[in-house]
């Protein structure tokens, strides 16, 4: 296992998720981004995290715009949507992207994350 990327504009949310993921996957390197344009550029330059946890609502670029950019550039990645949105339309929309393995509503918990251990 190498890197798990957290993409969320909320620094506190990233800190909380990092602490949980560090306990669950001590061998993984966790990298947090508050601006989705930075990890998008890293992916374009050949970055390859083992998994990305992606928020939807962010100011610079929302999670769906991020996914659209991946599709346009034919970049594959394993992505879990991690959002406070319980809007059924957001959940259904996330299922349209082949990179998205699933949708987790915040807060992230060990139990919610364990459902994706097979993807790591």
Q: pLDDT by residue (tens digit) across 30-84?
A: 999 999 999 999 999 999 999 999 999 999 899 999 999 999 999 999 999 999 9
Residue 1 has pLDDT above 80, yes or no: no
Angle at which helices 37-44 and 63-72 cross, to 10°: 20
Distance in angstroms (rounded) separating the CA atoms of residues 112 and 90: 18
Q: What is the pLDDT of residue 5?
A: 98
Among the CATH numbers 3.40.50.2300, 3.30.1200.10, 3.55.40.10, 3.30.930.10, which is that of 3-113?
3.40.50.2300
Q: What is the dihedral of CA 114, 116, 118, 120, to 10 degrees?
A: -100
Q: What is the pLDDT of residue 2?
A: 87
Q: What is the pLDDT of residue 119?
A: 81
Q: pLDDT by residue (tens digit) across 6-16?
A: 999 999 999 99
- Per domain, the residue ranges of the chain are 3-113
């Amino acid at each position: 296992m190498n890197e798990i990327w957290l993409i969320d504009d909320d620094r506190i949310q990233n800190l909380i998720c990092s602490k949980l993921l560090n306990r669950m996957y001590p061998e993984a390197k966790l990298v947090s981004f508050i601006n989705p344009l930075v990890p998008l550029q890293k992916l374009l330059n050949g970055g390859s995290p083992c998994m990305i946890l992606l928020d939807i609502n962010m100011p610079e670029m929302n999670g769906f715009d991020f996914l659209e950019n991946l599709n346009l550039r034919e970049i594959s990645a394993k992505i879990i949507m991690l959002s406070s949105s319980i809007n059924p339309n957001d959940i259904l929309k996330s299922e349209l992207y082949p990179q998205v393995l699933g949708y987790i509503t915040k807060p992230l918990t060990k139990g919610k994350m364990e459902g994706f251990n097979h993807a790591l």
